[in-house]
Chain A
Amino acid sequence: MNEIGELCLLLSLGIAVYSSIVSVLGEKRKRKGLIASAENSLFVLFVLITISSATLISAFLRRDFSVEYVANYSNKDLSLFYTLSAFWAGQKGSLLLWAWLLSIFSAVVVLQNRNKNREFMPYVISISSITLCLFLALMVFASRPFELIYPPEDGYGLNPLLQNPGMVFHPPTLYLGFVGFTIPFAFAMSSLLSGHLGDTWIKTTRRWTIFSWFFLSMGNLLGAWWAYRVLGWGGYWAWDPVENASFMPWLTATAYLHSVMIQERRDMLKVWNMVLIVVTFCLTIFGTFLTRSGVIQSVHSFGESTVGYYFLVFLILTIGFSFYLIVNKFSLLKSNNELDSIISRESSFLFNNLILVGAAFATFWGTMFPVISETIRGQKLTVGPPFFNQVNIPIGLALLLLIGICPLISWKRSSINNLKRNFLKPFVISIIGGIVLIPVGIGHLFAWLSFTISIFVVSTILIEFYKGVDARRNSTGEGFVKALFFLTGKNKRRYGGYIIHIGVVLMYVGITGSSYNIEKEATLKKGESMEIGDYRLIYKDLANKMPIPTRIEVIAAMDIEKDGKIIATAQPRREFYKNSEQPISRVYNLSGLKEDLYIILAAFNEDNSATFKIHVNPLVKWLWIGGIVIGLGTFIAMLPDRKEKGGMQVIEKGKKKTESRISSTAYCLLVTCFLLFFSGSVSALTIDEKYMPLYDELSGKFMCLCGCGSLIKTCPHQDCNFAIPFRKELSTRIQTGETKEQIIGYFVNKHGERILSAPTKRGFNLVAWITPFAVIIIVGFFIKRIIHEWATKGITEEAKGSDFKTQDSLDKYKKILEKELEEFER
């Protein structure tokens, strides 16, 4: 059986090489047969890789431990659900999944474009095939999924951390996003190669881009959700290099989604859009490289392997090739850049791009700075969460502000008077909101700003909806709901986009809540209680259970009391697995709209006393709700248009296309529903209360060096042999009255500079802090100058009414225009 899977991969590699060459050859020699053969190759690739994947799945289901991958990632006790998800639990399966998705997407693209975009297809086929070659070559030469071993009695089992619904859906969702960007990239490159440099590639790949963007967003969010529920350190985002690696393409993709709107309307920024899609695609590959190469330490690392270097080579070739093409066609890509006015939606979008790409750069810079520092100074250091938070918070707030401002500025040209009028209402509302929120804001300036700007953004968007509905009601006389429905239906992209923005604001609210997190740790005897926030927790009982032979669970029972009433019984657990040294904490999370009560059973002793780590995390739920709203907005933006426009070029069967769109949008909805469904639901340290603030501050300043990539404060390993002694030593030093500086100095001497969670703000390390802001500011000035230049150039009046021979013909076209505009949807 397994040989079939292996053979299919080998055969696929051959075919992928064949189709990548033959399709271009067919175009050069103008031979239809060759191109058709290459197209068929992609279908064959899809079938072969599907067979291969099916073989691996069947090996898992048959518990065929003679396959090394199956033996390493499953065992006899594993439930069916997790046995299926073990497919992508390791590197080999992930590569296969990636290749499988790419083969599906490529086949769909060929189907979609049987009768159109023929000038692009040879190159699109070639580029998808080359990308497939990479993954197939890896699976044939470096990391064989069907590698055989002498079958052991039982498999090693799936890492218990991965036995969670979040982990089942997070990787494939993220991969859907990553792989999806191959398609717009392939079209962009083929537009360069074929010399058709207009908008066609952008329009053709618009839905692919939104589709991929959506899955990238959801993949990241599901990862965050998993980290929150499973890793048990009370947070959801740790600025781990791999998290950054999937965050960066999201940022550049978001920038791309916005900047193409200008090209669609203005026929400008062609080079910039090309660069953005190339960068996005490269960042998806870069992320994989980071995960697989072990260049940078991360919880996600699959251990060092040679696989990373295949990606590096591919990455360098891709960058070299794409930028060579862009430079080569630069003169053709140069567009007539002109703006009607300095103040316009177009120019505000340029700044939105600056901020998004700036955030991506800051994240990249922070991720790579340890490598830079080591190369230049030979000094190993760490760039951890404090750096990313401090750098990205101001950038993020600027972005939030722009989300509010952009919709207020009209396309083409805005007059100051109109601006004043439009800004007035949201501005007043947010000022009132800001004043109301002052008590919340004391000591939390950034949080206060974030809430106030959020109010501003939400009110601008709601006013936008209201104005649109109002205008429609005035012209049609419809009721409010009906007008809202049709307005959104006729402008799906606009209002879908606004809804996505609301989702983003909700996520900001959720993230901002983390400024108010409270955390407490206590060892309790049965019957004892502790207080945190508005809650009183009474420790009741400790019990053992052994549901399956390979797992033992220790469950603590705790009554949660709020306002004198018991509202729930918490059951945080610790699970011990036969094959895993690390016990796993199953967090108990009482989630509400206001805050989450998050209880971890950190340790227990023979006398039945137990140590609990309790977090009260305000507003976290809004992060997940924001995700759902984003899903809803994407769903609306991707709904098929009622009527396909564009005239003759669409010879294909419109129905089929609509069906495939409906199914892809339906899948988006499914993922959203999934989020909705799931969103509902150490030895103790003794330290004097008065030293607690200092302890909190300092434990956030040091990095845990166990390899987890987290802070000393948040290391997820309950029995970490680095963090636990470190915490003890830290608390001792604090209580003997050493000053902050002394303590920091002591630990830096002991472990080197890399113990610090963020680079110091002096000397060479200052470069780390200043560069992102400096780059953004300098580029910002540059953009301002460009806008000024483009706006003062004025619009060249190409179009003259006099081109029409007779008044009759002009009237005829006017009628057509009127009729088509009526039906035009976007």
Chain B
Amino acid sequence: MTLFIEILIFISAMFFIGYPLFHKKGTAFTAGSDGSFNELIHKKEAAYTAIKDLDFDYITGKLSESDYKELKKRYEIEALNILRLLDEYKNKGAVTLTKKTGDERTPFCPQCGTKTKGGDNFCFQCGARLNSVEI
């Protein structure tokens, strides 16, 4: 009985660990994109925290008015810049996405209307250059 349980434990453990090896092929997540986006988000949080701190310290009388105004302006601009970068980042992401779907669809030649194969650069009928999104 014990032996049976032991074998069962062993086999199920091996199965569970081994399963992804055969069923999750493909490359690992690329680090770059996800990472730098996170960094931006954290920078934004840092700037927001700074602004909140300033507000709080000013209201509770720890910061003089001139210091408050100067510092607040600086951190607001910093936050605005981060927001802008984040937006740019998101837009860039959207562009990458469009490219992908564009490749998968089989478009028609803009010149003669012939159906083209995905991945072709020129129309095999009339030789016109096929659209490719520039990144």
Asked if residues B71 and A413 are in contact (CB atoms below 8 Å), the reply is yes
A590 proximal to B (CB < 8 A):
no
**Chain A residue nearest in CB terms to B3:** A3
Cross-chain pair count, CB within 8 angstroms: 199
Question: Contact flags (1/0) for B23-61 with A, using CB distance below 8 Å?
Answer: 111111111001101110111011011111110111111
B80 proximal to A (CB < 8 A):
yes
Asked if residues B57 and A410 are in contact (CB atoms below 8 Å), the reply is yes
B79 proximal to A (CB < 8 A):
yes
Asked if residues B63 and A816 are in contact (CB atoms below 8 Å), the reply is no
Q: Which A residues from 34 to 63 make CB contacts under 8 A with B?
A: 34-37, 39-41, 43-44, 47-48, 51
Of B10, B38, B67, B83, the residue contacting A198 (CB under 8 A) is B38
Asked if residues B77 and A203 are in contact (CB atoms below 8 Å), the reply is no
A774 proximal to B (CB < 8 A):
no
Given contacts A411-B50, A418-B63, contact A649 B38 (CB under 8 A): yes
Asked if residues A30 and B39 are in contact (CB atoms below 8 Å), the reply is no
**Chain A residue nearest in CB terms to B32:** A119
**Cα–Cα distance between A264 and B42 once the two chains are bound (Å):** 8
Task: Tell me which residues across on chain B come within 8 A of A801, comparing CB atoms.
Answer: 77, 80
Of B52, B60, B84, the residue contacting A821 (CB under 8 A) is B52
**Chain B residue nearest in CB terms to A43:** B16
Q: Which A residues from 594 to 619 make CB contacts under 8 A with B?
A: none
Of B6, B34, B51, the residue contacting A119 (CB under 8 A) is B34
Task: Tell me which residues across on chain A come within 8 A of B60, comparing CB atoms.
Answer: 464, 467-468, 471
Of B67, B80, B87, the residue contacting A817 (CB under 8 A) is B80
Asked if residues A817 and B62 are in contact (CB atoms below 8 Å), the reply is no
Q: Which A residues from 395 to 423 make CB contacts under 8 A with B?
A: 408-415, 417-418, 421-422
Asked if residues A33 and B53 are in contact (CB atoms below 8 Å), the reply is no
Q: Which of A238-246, A581-589, A806-814 contacts B (4 or more CB under 8 A)?
A: A806-814
Of B20, B39, B52, B80, the residue contacting A200 (CB under 8 A) is B39
**Chain A residue nearest in CB terms to B13:** A44
Asked if residues A647 and B13 are in contact (CB atoms below 8 Å), the reply is no
Asked if residues A265 and B80 are in contact (CB atoms below 8 Å), the reply is no
B101 proximal to A (CB < 8 A):
no
Asked if residues B17 and A18 are in contact (CB atoms below 8 Å), the reply is yes
Asked if residues A199 and B74 are in contact (CB atoms below 8 Å), the reply is no
Q: Which A residues from 555 to 586 make CB contacts under 8 A with B?
A: none
**Cα–Cα distance between A515 and B6 once the two chains are bound (Å):** 60
Asked if residues A36 and B24 are in contact (CB atoms below 8 Å), the reply is yes
Asked if residues B67 and A415 are in contact (CB atoms below 8 Å), the reply is yes
**Chain B residue nearest in CB terms to A466:** B60
Q: How many B residues face the partner with a CB closer than 8 A?
A: 62
**Chain B residue nearest in CB terms to A7:** B6
3 pairs of A and B residues whose beta carbons are closest in the complex:
A36-B20, A410-B57, A119-B31
A820 proximal to B (CB < 8 A):
yes
Asked if residues A816 and B42 are in contact (CB atoms below 8 Å), the reply is no
Asked if residues B20 and A418 are in contact (CB atoms below 8 Å), the reply is no
Task: Tell me which residues across on chain B come within 8 A of A820, comparing CB atoms.
Answer: 48
Given contacts A30-B28, A413-B67, A804-B80, contact A11 B61 (CB under 8 A): no
**Cα–Cα distance between A532 and B60 once the two chains are bound (Å):** 49
**Cα–Cα distance between A648 and B92 once the two chains are bound (Å):** 14
A200-B38, A408-B62, A421-B61 known, 7 other contacts, Cβ within 8 Å:
A4-B6, A11-B9, A118-B29, A412-B57, A468-B56, A813-B80, A824-B49
B96 proximal to A (CB < 8 A):
no
Task: Tell me which residues across on chain B come within 8 A of A491, comparing CB atoms.
Answer: 56
**Cα–Cα distance between A412 and B68 once the two chains are bound (Å):** 10
Task: Tell me which residues across on chain A come within 8 A of B31, comparing CB atoms.
Answer: 118-119, 194, 196
Q: Smallest distance from the beta carbon of A512 to chain B beta carbons, Å?
A: 29
Asked if residues B16 and A40 are in contact (CB atoms below 8 Å), the reply is yes
Q: Smallest distance from the beta carbon of A464 to chain B beta carbons, Å?
A: 7
Of B23, B28, B35, B54, the residue contacting A411 (CB under 8 A) is B54
Asked if residues A8 and B80 are in contact (CB atoms below 8 Å), the reply is no
Task: Tell me which residues across on chain A come within 8 A of B50, comparing CB atoms.
Answer: 265, 411-412
Q: Which A residues from 737 to 782 make CB contacts under 8 A with B?
A: none
B76 proximal to A (CB < 8 A):
yes
Q: Smallest distance from the beta carbon of A204 to chain B beta carbons, Å?
A: 9
Asked if residues A199 and B39 are in contact (CB atoms below 8 Å), the reply is yes
Task: Tell me which residues across on chain A come within 8 A of B10, comparing CB atoms.
Answer: 7, 11
Asked if residues B57 and A411 are in contact (CB atoms below 8 Å), the reply is yes
A267 proximal to B (CB < 8 A):
yes
Of A41, A117, A821, the residue contacting B51 (CB under 8 A) is A821
Task: Tell me which residues across on chain B come within 8 A of A111, comparing CB atoms.
Answer: none
A80 proximal to B (CB < 8 A):
no
Residue of B17, B34, B52, B86 ringed by the most chain A CB atoms within 10 A: B17
Asked if residues A340 and B24 are in contact (CB atoms below 8 Å), the reply is no
**Cα–Cα distance between A357 and B100 once the two chains are bound (Å):** 53
Q: Which of A310-318, A368-376, A726-734, A792-800 contacts B (4 or more CB under 8 A)?
A: A792-800
Asked if residues A44 and B27 are in contact (CB atoms below 8 Å), the reply is no
Task: Tell me which residues across on chain A come within 8 A of B87, comparing CB atoms.
Answer: 813
Asked if residues A34 and B62 are in contact (CB atoms below 8 Å), the reply is no
**Chain A residue nearest in CB terms to B72:** A412
13 A-B residue pairs with Cβ-Cβ distance under 8 Å, sorted by A, are A3-B6, A31-B28, A32-B29, A33-B23, A37-B19, A44-B13, A51-B9, A264-B45, A265-B49, A412-B54, A467-B60, A646-B45, A821-B52
Asked if residues A415 and B64 are in contact (CB atoms below 8 Å), the reply is yes
A235 proximal to B (CB < 8 A):
no
Task: Tell me which residues across on chain A come within 8 A of B34, comparing CB atoms.
Answer: 116, 118-119, 649
Asked if residues A817 and B9 are in contact (CB atoms below 8 Å), the reply is no
Given contacts A1-B2, A267-B46, A645-B45, contact A810 B80 (CB under 8 A): yes
Asked if residues A199 and B42 are in contact (CB atoms below 8 Å), the reply is yes
**Cα–Cα distance between A467 and B58 once the two chains are bound (Å):** 11
**Cα–Cα distance between A41 and B9 once the two chains are bound (Å):** 13
Question: Contact flags (1/0) for A249-282 with B, using CB distance below 8 Å?
Answer: 0000000000000001111000000000000000
Task: Tell me which residues across on chain A come within 8 A of B57, comparing CB atoms.
Answer: 410-412
**Chain B residue nearest in CB terms to A3:** B2
**Chain B residue nearest in CB terms to A51:** B9
